[in-house]
Amino acid sequence: MFYESAPEMLLKQIRTCFELENLKLNHKSKTQAKVVISPHAGYLYSGRVAAHSFSALAGESKRDTFVLIGPNHGRGNGHVVVSASSQWLTPLGSANINASFSNYLAENFDIISANEQQHSIEHSLEVQIPFLQYCFKDFNFVALLLNDQSIEVSTELAGILHKVSKDLKVNLQVIASSDFSHFVPKQVAEKKDIEAINYLLDFKTNEFYDYVLQNNVTACGVGPMVTACEFARLDGAKKSKLLKYSTSAQVTQDESNVVGYASIAFY
């Protein structure tokens, strides 16, 4: 439903996303994002925006583990749920989970529990994996779903990830998975989404969270975005950039009812 099932077609689909945006992967880049926000719709609709996020993750700095943080679109128990699997499988092959890091989170922090069933039916993180497989030959990851997207839990999770990364001496790159406004006119989506994004770019997570709630910005991954922005700040990020914003109207040509997508990087 979200991307091609045949490996060669999936590779072509992802490659086309980069080509249409004139993006190249520079694994020797000195400008490498610590944290990105990436959309999770079907690749036809949001793949070109997502390509900007993954391009920003490439660089010369050492990376140990990607941490993927997304919303749970279904109902689930527990504040934050980590995948208990050892690997996930896509048409491009298997992707390995950092089991020791994942287990450490589940065993040492009350807000985090392991539950593979919730991950098995959720798409927000799964759609990020083929992009990672396309961009990076060797990687492992941790998968976290937020059932509780409150500002308190989202902020606490950022602190936990930062502390554990230092305690275990693991160099993390964080990917928050979220789309922005859903099923509103294009002008409404653009206005609300950009205003909300500007708070993230200024590392103002409380203001971002309040704006989203007060203005009914129907972004599905508010919690993951707060966690990502807070982790970036704690990890020493000083700069941020909106790499690309677009809506589904780019594909559907229907401006009366769109979904917004953004690629944001923190350096």
**Range of the structural domain that residue 91 is part of:** 7-266
pLDDT tens across the length of the chain (267 residues): 899 999 999 999 999 999 999 999 999 999 999 999 999 999 999 999 999 999 999 999 999 999 999 999 987 889 999 998 999 999 999 999 999 999 999 999 999 999 999 999 999 999 999 999 999 989 999 999 999 999 999 999 999 999 999 999 999 999 999 999 999 999 999 999 999 999 999 999 999 999 999 999 999 999 999 999 999 999 999 999 999 999 999 999 999 999 999 999 999
Asked if residue 195 belongs to a domain, the reply is yes
Asked if residue 186 belongs to a domain, the reply is yes
Query: How far from 149 is each of 21, 48, 128, CA to CA, in Å?
Result: 32, 27, 20
CATH number at residue 101: 3.40.830.10
- pLDDT digit string (tens) for 28-74? 999 999 999 999 999 999 999 999 999 999 999 999 999 999 999 98
Asked if residue 33 belongs to a domain, the reply is yes
Structure tokens at 175: 């990917």
Asked if residue 1 belongs to a domain, the reply is no
Report the candidate in 237, 186, 210 with the shortest Cα–Cα distance to residue 37: 237
Asked if residue 148 belongs to a domain, the reply is yes
Asked if residue 39 belongs to a domain, the reply is yes
Asked if residue 171 belongs to a domain, the reply is yes
Cβ-contact 172, 162 below 8 angstroms: no
Structure tokens at 183: 């099923």
- pLDDT digit string (tens) for 19-28? 999 999 999 9
Structure tokens at 256: 């009366």
Asked if residue 2 belongs to a domain, the reply is no
User: For the chain, how many structural domains are there in total?
Assistant: 1
